[in-house]
Amino acid sequence: MFLPQEVIRKKRDGQTLSAEDVRQFVAGITDDSVADSQIAALAMAVYFRGMELEENVALALAMRDSGRCLHWADLQLPGPVLDKHSTGGVGDVVSLMLGPLIAACGGFVPMISGRGLGHTGGTLDKLSAIPGYNPFPTPERLRQVVREVGVAIIGQTSDLAPADRRFYATRDITATVESIALITASILSKKLAAGLDVLVMDVKAGSGAFMPSMADSIALAERIVEVGNGAGVRTSALITDMSQPLASTAGNSLETAEAVRYLKGDERNPRLHAITMALCSEMLLAGGLAASEDDARLQLEQALDSGRAAEIFARMVAELGGPADFVEHPARYLAPAPLVRPVYAERSGFVAAMDTRALGMAVCALGGGRRLASDQLDYRVGLTQFVELGQWVAADQPLLLIHAADEAGADEAARRIRSAISLSEAAPAALPLVYQTIHRR
């Protein structure tokens, strides 16, 4: 007889849960036979006691199996099924270019993405800025788009890893979100449900990262790589820098427009390009689509230069309900903010540090991000033309441009921005874009 309190007791006392313990507890989360108080108790026990690798694998798999799983074998796709997941940040628009790039190189990308919350922008919100884009196609339509186009970027439906949704909601109100074991299981349950062959993680470090320290970012990346491989998906991770916004823009319509410019070759922010190429290269190598790093880079550059990646993005948008000419004429469909205002430094100096999280919260203050999951977004607002770390800024030079709905929003954002960007007499040491790549031991 299954008793949830006995599973809680075992973990509280530091014992290792069996795969059956985990499976039964997750089944109880799914069918509501386990109470919220019991979920909270187990989450707190895991927070303090942690999980062995085998337990963590069992939890990720059980939450995966709590709902529908995607399968691709019957489609006989001529390439591997791959995906990337980022722990998020500010100006992290990589997914919009990465999916089409991988598809242009022979991969198939069913990317299940989330909405933004707090200072981090959500891939789903960026695509939802496109009129008509449907991020929740039927399973049959998703499979058709992935087969015919090579990529579909969609949202998590209610039947995908439903146990994770309830588990996370309980963690969110019981101060147990920060558990590395539970973060790992939450991320992987959804990615495993997508039926992937390969997963590459982008774990951020720096002032805009989800994890509070470099050590925590590395620990999370190592655990995800271990659990992902233990669950049967070839998983690796890159630790990348989020000490400043990644793109030249932050805000939903603004980032979507930047992704189009990137794919068309009109503008490619060097930092954004470097991270996109690093993640795509890792995916091609892990998926057996490239023989070497040089081969991967060559394929990716050809996909960009030929226009193939841009064409695939355009097809994905059209197949999921967006305008057929979106890539050719994005300005027709992405409404601008009514007010654009520069924010000036109060003195001259080198950009010494950025509180990237605070910059993300400035976007939220403009209406471009969520404090609560139920918040409605203003897709038009955001920030553009960021100065960069180490750059010399004169007192009459803008730190960035604010795109706002009104003067009050612009004033609040400007206040946050001036507090978030520090100037000094000396330039700071340059930071690497990729700190570390982690593979299975």
Residues with a catalytic annotation lie at 83-86, 123, 171, 186, 190-191
Residue type, 348: S
Residue type, 337: A
d(CA 345, CA 363): 18
d(CA 220, CA 2): 31
Question: Distance of CA 107 to CAs 57, 124, 148, Å?
Answer: 26, 21, 12
Contact between 62 and 17 (Cβ < 8 Å): no
Question: What's the CA dihedral at 156, 158, 161, 162 to 10 degrees?
Answer: 140
d(CA 301, CA 190): 30
Helix/strand/coil for 212: coil
Contacts of 53 (CB under 8 A, 6+ apart): 226, 227, 230
Q: CA nearest 91: which of 245, 262, 258?
A: 245
d(CA 354, CA 388): 9
d(CA 114, CA 129): 14
Residue corresponding to tokens 């075992």: 10
Residue corresponding to tokens 């010399």: 392
CA 256 to chain centre: 14
CA 315 to chain centre: 22
Contacts of 192 (CB under 8 A, 6+ apart): 60, 61, 64, 69, 228, 231, 233
Helix (H) or strand (E) holding 81: none
Residue type, 255: E
Q: Between 36-49 and 4-12, two packed helices, what is the crossing angle to 10 degrees?
A: 20
